[in-house]
Amino acid sequence: MRRRVVVARGLAAASALSAAALGWRSRASSQGGGAGDAPLDALVIGAGLAGLACAQRLRAAGRRVLVLEARQRLGGRIWTERSQGLAIDLGASWLHGMANNPLYPLLTRELGLPVLPSDGLGQITVGPDGRRWDGARHERAEAWLAALVARAEQQGEPDQPLSALLPPRLSPDQRFTLIADVEHELGAAPGAIAADAPLGDGQPLLGGDALVPGGLDQLVRHLAQGLEIRLAQVVRQIHNSPQGVRVTTASGAVYQARGLCCSVPLGVLKAGSIRFEPPLPAAKQRAIETLGMGLLDKIVLLFPERFWDARGWLRNDGPEPGLWSEWVDLTALIGRPGLMGFNAAEVARRVARQSDGAIVSSALAQLRRCYPNAVIPEPSAVRITRWGDDPFALGSYSFAAVGSTNAMRQELGRRWQGMVLAGEAISPAFPATLQGAYLSGQHAAQSLLSLWGA
């Protein structure tokens, strides 16, 4: 999610955070579920923001918690790439809605970290003919989109696709604005988005956005402090009963506890990568199937020097709609000349199937189109994401797909026997965001504590 425009409303590499560094003390045996050991109060599946927030809240209440994480790193969809002395966020980048985002005071006041407000950054759009859009043309296109969004929010139905509210013919500027401000925002095409939630189904994000110099893994490190975490534990089965929970991993390890928070992404739940025994109740299963998992992919290109003039956003309304249509200048954030480009939805899926070399060539071709008079060298460093192929994400973030309602997120967050689901997709207030994941993890912890009478 990049939220460049608000239309109508307002790990030192994580692998360095090894289990040993975090003071791992397992109370569950890797075979047979810890017979003879004192039982754990809770297992938390997933060491993203939701899982870590849940585990911290339980730990603060004096409970014994073990976090099981499939990857060799913490953070999940927070993925700060640290090489060449840089910190570049390849998953989430922005703190959205600083005025009602609990992570903003946590980062700035508690951790004392600086943030880089990103509202009001300049933007330049280069049209298909190579000419640059002027301000008035931007304003017209965005006023059109604001009107469409307002109408969709008032008149749209959850069972209707947003595309049904579009005029039969879109002007090129309207089509580009729809791609840049809706398709990229939700990671999905208007044909897949529920008409009543054109910009998402949560509460408004207030107070502008900010980037975090130094990387969002600083937040992950903070939230992981003092927790017992075991990496490389791919959970395959969760057995859930009123007496307790039992978890089996791909390597056959078995863990048992009184309760469990499962914070794997919606994409993983959709794929059925984890078997629930007994199966999830029908209402939860229906919510999982109906809510959408969007896709946004990034490329980061570092260059010896800046050849671009856009201090902020470069928008590329190129010949192929949606391909590398947005770029953000990273120079102020990372202190080196760099650009981050985005693809979303079907375009992102298509690009992800190409080789790294072909992806870089296609990105450079678009930059050369935008700057025909510049000599653009090969980038000195490249990072490419493929979030849709990542087996522990299977997409970037959830969106209100046709047929889904915000109540489905609430349904997913309701405890079922000893288990509660958490994660951005389960947050009715702030789905698809960092704060949504964080708050849903805290909510899951509270739900387990209430079950135990704490």
**Closer residue to ligand FAD, CB minimum distance, 94 or 399:** 94
Distance separating alpha carbons of residues 418 and 415, to the nearest angstrom: 7
Residue type, 378: E
Three-state secondary-structure class, residue 141:
helix
**Closer residue to ligand FAD, CB minimum distance, 298 or 336:** 298
What's the longest Cα–Cα distance across the chain?
73
152 close to 165: Cβ distance less than 8 angstroms:
yes
Please tell me whether residue 416 binds ligand FAD under the rule CB under 6 A: no
**Closer residue to ligand FAD, CB minimum distance, 76 or 413:** 76
**Closer residue to ligand FAD, CB minimum distance, 165 or 328:** 328
Residue-by-residue DSSP string for 356-374:
HHHHHHHHHHHHHHH-TTS
Residue nearest to ligand FAD (CB): 48
In this structure, what is the dihedral angle of CA atoms 190, 196, 199, 204, given to the nearest 10 degrees?
A: 180
Nearest distance from residue 395's CB to ligand FAD, in Å? 8
Among 396, 405, 442, 447, binds ligand FAD (CB under 6 A): 396
Please tell me whether residue 397 binds ligand FAD under the rule CB under 6 A: yes
Proportion of the chain in helix, strand, coil states, percent, rounded to 5: 30, 20, 45
Residues 6+ apart with CB under 8 A from 379: 301, 302, 303, 360, 364
**Closer residue to ligand FAD, CB minimum distance, 195 or 323:** 323
How many helices (H) does the chain have, and how many strands (E)?
13, 21
Using a 10 angstrom Cβ sphere, with 0-12 exposed, 13-18 middle and 19 or more buried, the burial of residue 439 is: buried
Instruction: Provide the mask over 285-324, with x wherever binding to ligand FAD is found by CB under 6 A and - wherever it is not.
Output: -----------x-x--------------------------
* Size of site (CB under 6 A) for ligand FAD: 43
Nearest distance from residue 58's CB to ligand FAD, in Å? 15
Please tell me whether residue 125 binds ligand FAD under the rule CB under 6 A: no
**Of residues 46-105, which lie at the interface with ligand FAD (CB under 6 A)?**
46-51, 68-71, 76-78, 91-94, 96
Please tell me whether residue 230 binds ligand FAD under the rule CB under 6 A: no
**Gap between the terminal Cα atoms of the chain:** 36
Distance separating alpha carbons of residues 60 and 390, to the nearest angstrom: 32
**Closer residue to ligand FAD, CB minimum distance, 123 or 396:** 396
Residues forming the site for ligand FAD (CB under 6 A)? 1, 45-51, 68-71, 76-78, 91-94, 96, 233-235, 263-265, 268, 273-274, 296, 298, 387, 392-393, 396-397, 423-424, 432-434, 436-437
